Every structure is written in structure tokens, then in C-alpha cells.
Amino acid sequence: MKRFLIQILYFTLTVACLAFLFSGLNLHLIRKKILNPENFRLSDSTTMLIIGDSYVGLSLNPKYIKGANNETVLGEHYLYSYTRLKYFLENNPQLEYIVLSFNYSTIAAPFDRGLLDGRNQSFFFGKEFMLLGKEELKFLRTNNLVYIRNFLAWKLGVPSKENLSLIKQTMAKNFKRNALPFRGEYIDCGNLSYVDNYQLNVRLKECFEPDKEQGLSPLILEYLQKIAALCEQSNVKLVLYTSPLSNLFFNAIPVFYKEEFQKTCQELPKSVFLLDYARYQLPDSCFEDVNHLNGIGAKIISSRLLDDLKKLEQDSVYHMRF
Amino acid sequence: MIFNSLDFAVFILVVFTLYWFVFNRNFRVQNVFIVVASYFFYGWWDWHFLIMITFTTLCSYYSGLLADKVRQSHGHSDEQIWYKNKVWWIIAANITVNLVILFYYKYYNFFVQNFVDAFSLFGKQLNISTLKIILPVGISFYTFQALSYSIDIYMKDTKPTRNIVAFFAYMSFFPKLTAGPVERANDLIPQFLKARKFDYPSAVDGLRQILWGLFKKIVVADNLAVCITYINSHTDTLPGSTLLLGSFFSVLQVYFDFSGYSDIAIGVARLLGINLSRNFNFPIFATSFANYWQRNHISMTRWFMDYIYYPMLGSSHKMLYWNYCVICTFLVSGLWHGANWTFILWGLIHGILISISTDTLKIQKKFEKRFHLKGVVWYKLIRISIIMFVLSIIGPLFSSESIHSAFDYIGKIFSSTLFIKPYGSTYAGKHVVFLVIICLLFEWFQQEKQHALQLDGVRSKVLRWAIYIFVIALIFNYGGVQVPFVYFQF
């Protein structure tokens, strides 16, 4: 038994020493190369930052919005948006507007539940774990290998496939900052259009999980307040954007969420603008699926966004529905 | 508590420490500790499960004792006519109780649904409601252990144990409780009735086996599961070649998942000084269907052979009757896997394939002799590929929810798109293929060993440790989402 324990001890020490040897160098490179403030710098002409989930990712094409940059990551929870926003605001004093995705499904409980889902974590940790603060880590802490690996990799520098490949990427000659995993983009769906009952059922299940108990996502609401406070602190106007929905999808949204969405809108902080296009009438050919616009729909909405925003400011009306 | 979780890592560390450092003076105390630890392990899922396993254990224990007492009082001579034989009645009662419990949890809804469907064909609507109950994890496995114990007592193959703690340990020993190996009383109970000494080589090899099991489960099977989920949810748009690849991945996933579990179970037991039966002998390298089932899920196949096939066969040597017995045995095996017609059909096909494979053995041997093919590697690889191909074709029966969807999947494989290049990048990173190849290579070169990481032949300690660190690095890097073990559902 003594021999067994000694061998285990030696082996563990060997593994720990090897990990320690690399982790010092790795941590230095992560700080220098990956968390480099330059990686969050947008062009000087960028005054509007679009951030959030697929609703803004597919419907706001920066090509048609002067001074805008779309940094969307599909399926992103406000907890992650807040984390990225901190870095963007810190390094871009020229920003005037933050456009944040805000929809019926955003406030629904499944959005919070998804945070601790293994596959969801696997996807987002690879993209944004390195940016997360202590408070956010507290919410995301699980005892599965994905969390443990990412924690060791990004916070302690233990070599892993994620941090090594990203460090390698930042050292390449043709390295592009906007190709980093925590940088988002607008996704052009062209003229693809699948608005049918099959898509409706898939999306309803994904957004509202009808077979489970209905409820709100408290973490989303908490982080909405945090984002609003952060924007106010940075002298940036926060604009919540509700993307157009197909009639098929809008009519199928559970009444509970429709009512709660209206309540949440009424309780928004005064400094927050709301552009609600949910009932904006567009033909089905403008939708990629039942609740996302395609390239055609995105062009229509993006082209009028700035005008609508100006009107909102001029009239001193904070909420506008279409 | 599942093996590939942090909870289990802490649990086994505590159990190992207490077992060898606190309770090591007396094996009886160690047995009590094993039972407590096993009940804690099982109750971690749901403490209600403990009621059922306790009941099954008590029934089997006391029925064994009672049968023995009756047998003793009759002076060792059993009554030949079964209905006059009290021992027969006692054992039959225990078997019935166990089967009723299993039927209630696992098969009640299936039979009721089929009963209602059958009546509706004749225009008669029956109002029998199905049950909403959770199937206790591992119920089929421990029930089968209880059955084998009772049958062995009746057949005088084993003596009932009087040590209730040892019997509880036999029934609930946590490494094999949830998905086997299905142990026999003669193999396991004697190990609980003697003092156990810590054996350094066995413990070290146990750790290697755990490491290899974790690699197979966490790295290979779970990453394959992600690809399979993608393919299964896009059957309408993917070509037949990709669907065939998906089905092949499913065969590999089930193997790596279940054999990974068995490796961890056997390794953990060895750390505690207990030897469990071997459950897999690299079945993916089988060269015929009969050979496949000699290597795959060995403990359960042995159970079906000993308690269904051989009693049915008796002393008959007729080939047709032999085939009939094999097919019946595999029908039951299919039904054991799950209450679904897909499993029954899966069992039936396997039964037929084994029969064909064995019936044509003489022709195969003649062919090999004629062309000097025995031991030729390429010939072996061709045979392995044929077995894998057939398993992939019938694979959807094992993983589909209904016969209709299974045939739908198989139909889509054999479409005009079967021969186009499978889509790679959309559903699987290159890393999955790389991991599968690493795993298969390890297993291929270690075929003669108990498990692929048995490195007895490697004399260099540095090389051995480098291999361990390489495997640990792969687990650390490619381990991801915790996917439940496939065989927990059975």
C-alpha cells in the first residue's frame, strides 16, 4: 500500500509540475495577447455597438446603419453580453449607442436554464470564459469537466486545447482581431425563408419550453439592470431592440410571456430606449425562420433604425412600438 | 452518481481511504462498509430505489435459506415431480416476485399499450391507463443476479450463503450495480467471505483500467454522441452515406460507452481487492456474429446461454432446433434491452445472424483452408468490416424510438445518395475521427490483453508515464458534456 501511495504521489507531482511549468508562460501570453485592449478596439467611426443574441445578429446589418458595428454572438445570455460590453466600453470612448437584443423569449426562464446546460457552456466557455469576472463565474460554476477545464485553462493558465490554439492564432502573421472567439458579427441569411409549422414548433420548444413550468429568468432581468447601469456610467445610450416576428410565431407566443414582456417594458429604467418591431408587418419572405429575419428583412429594418432612433430622441419618447 | 463525475471521484477517494485504512482489520466490517457505500451510491439517484433493491435482496436471501432448510430436512433427496417439490415452489415464488417487479417497472406500459392497440384493430377501445413511473437504474441487472442465485441454488450449483451482509454486498456492490457485469454468486460471494489483501500490481492495473474506461467514455463515446445527435436530427437533409456513417458511429458509441463503463467498474472493484468478470473482449474486432457475441457483453450473454439457451436445448443435436433455441434466446435478450418492438426485432435479427454464422462454419473453414487465409491480416480486416457494416445497417433498430423510424432511417441510407462523399465538417470536427482512430489503434494492438492500457510489456517507466499523461491530457482536453451511460436505461 505504501508503495502504491508513493507512486500515486510521484505521478500527481509530475503532472502538476508539467502543468505548472507551462501555465506561467501561458498565463502571461493570455494576458498579453488575448486580453490585449487592442482586441476590443473598434474603428474610431463606430458610434453604435450592436450586441446580444441571434435576434440582432440576423436583423441588424451594419452595412445599412451608419457608424454601427454588430458584435452579436448567437444565443448569448445577458450575463455574457454584460461581460463583453465592459471590455468594449472600456476601450471605446467614442461609442454613443448600445443596441441590445430584447425579446419575448429573452425574459423566459429557458434562457437562464440554458446557462448551466453542458452543451451551452461548452459553446460559450470556448468563446468568452477568459473574459468572465468573479461574480459571473459564481453563477456558472458547475462540477463538470467543461467548467473545470476552462477555469484551469483561462484563470490559471494550464495548457489546454482552447488556450493553446487561441494563443497560436494571435501569434500568426495574418491574425485578425475580429476573428477572435469573443468577437461577434452580423449573419447574413440572404433570401432563405423557412416559415412553416415545423419551424414554429422547433422554435417554440426552444424559446419557451412549453412542456415545463412557465416563468421568468431572474438573471436576465438582473443583468439588464447591470447593463443599464454600466451604460449610464459610461455615458452611452442603451437601446433595447425587439426584432420583427412572423405572424405565425407572434400568435403562438404563450399569453404569460406576452403579458410579462409588457410588464417588463413598463418597468424599464427611464434612461433606456425601446424600439419594439415585434408587430412590424413584414411578409414571410423577409424571415429566415419564424422568428428571425433574413437578409431582405434585415435590410428593411436596418435602413430605418437610425431614423426611428432619432425620432425617439427628438420626441423624448423612450418607448416606440411599430 | 455516475462514474464520469466529480462526485464519484470524491466518493471513491473517501471509500478507498476508509476501506483500506479504517475498516481494514476485519473483512466483515469491510463488507458492512461496502453495503453502506453501495446504498449511498445508489440512493444518490433517488432514495426510493433503495426500497426495491432491499426487497429483492431480502426475498432472494431468505428464499435461498428456506430452500436449503427444506432440502436438508428431506435428507438431500429432492422430489422428482416438480409440483410435489417444495424447493421448486420456494424458488419459483422468488423468481416470480422478482419478475413481477421487473415487469411492473419495465414492461407494464409496453404490454398494456400493445394490448390496447391489438383490441383497437377489432374496433374495441379499451380504457387501460399506462403508468407514470421512473424505471429504477440498474433494476434489470440486479434482478438477473437475484434470479441466477435462486436458479443456481435449485440446480445445486451453489450453496445459499448464511452471511446476510455478504449477500447484500453481492447484490449491491456499487461498481457493478447500475450496469453490470452481471455476477454469479459462485464468483462473487466467496470473495466477500474471506479477508482481502491490498495487491499492488492489481490496484495499479485497476487504475489503468479506470483511466482507459474514462477515456473511452468521456472522450470517444461522448464526442461521438454529439455527432450522432446532429445526424439523427438532420436525417431529411443528409445523404445516405452520412447516415450510414452516423449509424456506424452509433455502433462505436454504444461499444465505447458500455465497455468504458465496464472498465471503470472492474478497475474500481480491483482497487477494493474484488475481481469482477470480464465483460468485453474487443467485440469490434469480431470476425463473425457468433464470435461477436462471445466477446460482447460477455456476462449477460453467458447468463442468457446458461439460463435460457442450454436448458432449452437439452441434449438435442438437431441443427434446426439449435437455431430455434438461439433465436429464442436472442429474442429474450432483445426484450431485456428494452420494452420496445425495435429491441425484439434487433434480438431476432441477431439470433438469425448467429445461426447463419454458425451453420456456415464448416464452409468458412474449407474456404480458408483452400485459399490459405487463416491468420491473414487483410482477410481478418475484411471480415471485421463486414460485421461492422451489418451492425451499422441494423444499428438504427437499437437506437430508434419505433420500428417505423428505424426503417425510415435504414431506407434513407439506401437512397441514391449512398455513394456520395459524407459531409464531414458540418457535424464532426476532425478531432472526433482522430480520437476514434487513437482508441481503435490502442485496442487493436492490445487485443491479447484484458484492456487496452494494460502496459505490462512496457518496461520503461518514463514511457508508461508518458502514455498515462497523454491519455489524461486527451481526457482533460476533449472531455465535455456529461452524457449518461447508454446502458443505464436498460
Mean pLDDT value of segment B106-110: 85
Chain A residues within 8 A of B479 when measuring between CB atoms: 145-146, 149
C-beta of residue A277 within 8 angstroms of C-beta of residue A242: yes
Q: Flag residues of chain A having pLDDT under 70.
A: 316-318, 321-322
In angstroms, the Cα distances linking A194 to A189, A250, B330 are: 11, 16, 45
The secondary structure element, H or E, covering residue B214 is helix B200-214
State how far the Cα of B290 lies from the Cα of B489, in Å rounded to an integer.
26
Q: Are residues B274 and B371 in the same domain?
A: yes
- Do B310 and B250 fall within a single domain? yes
Statement to judge: residues B139 and B211 lie in one domain: no
> What does the pLDDT read at residue B231?
86
* Residues in B touching A20 (Cβ below 8 Å): none
CA distance, residue B15 to nearest chain A CA (Å): 15
Residue B203 scores a pLDDT above 90: yes
Last residue of a domain, one of B173, B196, B219: B196
* A3 interfacial to chain B (CB closer than 8 Å): yes
CA dihedral A239, A245, A247, A250 (to 10 degrees): -70
Say if the Cβ atoms of B481 and A7 lie within 8 Å.
no
Percent of chain A with pLDDT over 70: 98
B394 lies in a domain?
Answer: yes
Is B43 part of the contact surface with chain A (CB cutoff 8 Å)?
Answer: no
User: Do B178 and B288 reside in the same domain of the chain?
Assistant: no
| B276 occurs within a structural domain | yes
Residue B1 is assigned to a structural domain of this protein:
no
Half-sphere CA count of A72, side-chain side, radius 13 A: 25
**pLDDT at residue A212, rounded to an integer:** 82
* More confidently predicted of A17 and B81: A17
Q: Is the pLDDT assigned to residue B78 strictly greater than 70?
A: no
What is the pLDDT at residue B428? 58
Same domain, B322 and B236: yes
Note whether B477 contacts A149, CB cutoff 8 Å: yes
CA distances from A54 to A67, A287, B88 (A): 20, 13, 68
Q: Over the stretch B276-289, which tens digit does the pLDDT of each residue have? A: 999 999 999 999 99
Q: Does B468 touch chain A (CB under 8 A)?
A: yes
Polymer length in residues for chain B: 490
Mean pLDDT across B285-301: 93
Residue B76 has pLDDT above 60, yes or no: no
CB B298 within 8 A of CB B280: yes
- Give B427's pLDDT tier (boundaries 50, 70, 90): low
In whole angstroms, how far apart are CA B482 and each of B207, B278, B331, B462?
A: 21, 25, 32, 32
Is residue B204 less than 8 Å (CB to CB) from chain A?
Answer: yes
Mean per-residue pLDDT of chain B: 89
DSSP assignment of B13-63 = HHHHHIIIIISTT-HHHHHHHHHHHHHHHHHTT-THHHHHHHHHHHHHHHH
Q: Are residues B252 and B376 in the same domain?
A: yes
Check residue B85 and give its pLDDT: 80
Cα distance between residue B257 and residue B218, in whole Å: 8
Burial (CB < 10 A; 0-12, 13-18, 19+), residue A203, is: buried
Q: Are B300 and B407 within one domain?
A: yes
Looking at the predicted structure, is the pLDDT value of residue B480 above 80?
Answer: no
Whole-number pLDDT of residue A316: 65
Closest CB from B465, B477, B481 relative to A118: B481
The answer to whether residues A60 and A244 touch, using CB atoms and an 8 Å cutoff, is: no
Task: Specify whether the CB–CB gap between A40 and A20 falls below 8 A.
Answer: no
CB-based contact A11 B465, cutoff 8 Å? yes
pLDDT given at position B424:
57
C-alpha cell at A54: 441571434
Give pLDDT, residue B236.
80
Task: Flag if A160 and B477 touch (Cβ within 8 Å).
Answer: yes
Which structural domain, as residue segments, surrounds residue B360?
202-489
Domain range list for chain A = 49-321
The rounded distance, in Å, linking the Cα atoms of B270 and A271 is 66
Of B30, B388, B389, B12, the residue nearest B210 (C-alpha): B12
Q: Is B337 a residue of the active site?
A: yes
| Edge-to-edge strand list for the sheet holding A237-242 | A68-70, A48-51, A97-101, A237-242, A273-276, A319-321
* Whether residue B175 is found in the same domain as residue B227: no
Predicted pLDDT at B351: 95
Q: Do A122 and B481 touch (CB under 8 A)?
A: yes
Verify that B191 and B254 share a domain, yes or no: no
Q: How many domains does chain B have?
A: 2
So what's the pLDDT on residue B194? Answer: 93
Instruction: Cis check for the bond before B396: say yes or no (omega within 30 of 0).
Output: no
First to last CA, chain B: 17
Q: Domain boundary residue among B166, B196, B226?
A: B196
- A319 backbone dihedrals φ, ψ, rounded to 5°: -115, 135
**pLDDT tens profile B249-260:** 999 999 999 999
d(CA B166, CA B162): 9
Name the residue with cell 459571473: A136
Identify whether B400 is part of a domain: yes
CATH topology of domain A49-321: Rossmann fold (3.40.50)
E strand or H helix at B172, and its extent? Answer: helix B164-172
Same domain, B192 and B206: no
Question: Per mean pLDDT, which range of B238-252, B415-429, B434-448 is the poorest?
Answer: B415-429
Main-chain phi, psi angles of A216, to 5 degrees: -95, 165
The pLDDT score that the predictor gives to residue A86 is: 95
Average pLDDT, integer, range B384-413: 91
Residues of A in contact with B465 (CB under 8 A): 11, 14
Q: How far is CA B460 from CA A71, A250, B447, B466, in A?
A: 53, 67, 21, 10
Gap from A119 CA to chain B (nearest CA, Å): 6
SS3 content of chain A, % helix, strand, coil (to 5): 55, 10, 35
Q: What is the pLDDT of residues B115-154, one digit of tens each?
A: 888 888 887 777 777 777 788 888 999 999 999 999 999 9
Same domain, B180 and B225: no
Query: Is B150:B63 a contact under the CB 8 Å cutoff?
Result: yes
Q: What is the pLDDT of residues A281-317, one digit of tens each?
A: 999 999 999 999 999 999 999 999 999 999 888 876 6
pLDDT of residue B37: 96
Among B163, B196, B229, the domain boundary falls at B196
B185 & B51 share domain? yes
Q: Which of B158-162, B223-227, B427-431 has the lowest mean pLDDT?
A: B427-431
Dist CA B382 CA B290 (whole Å): 16
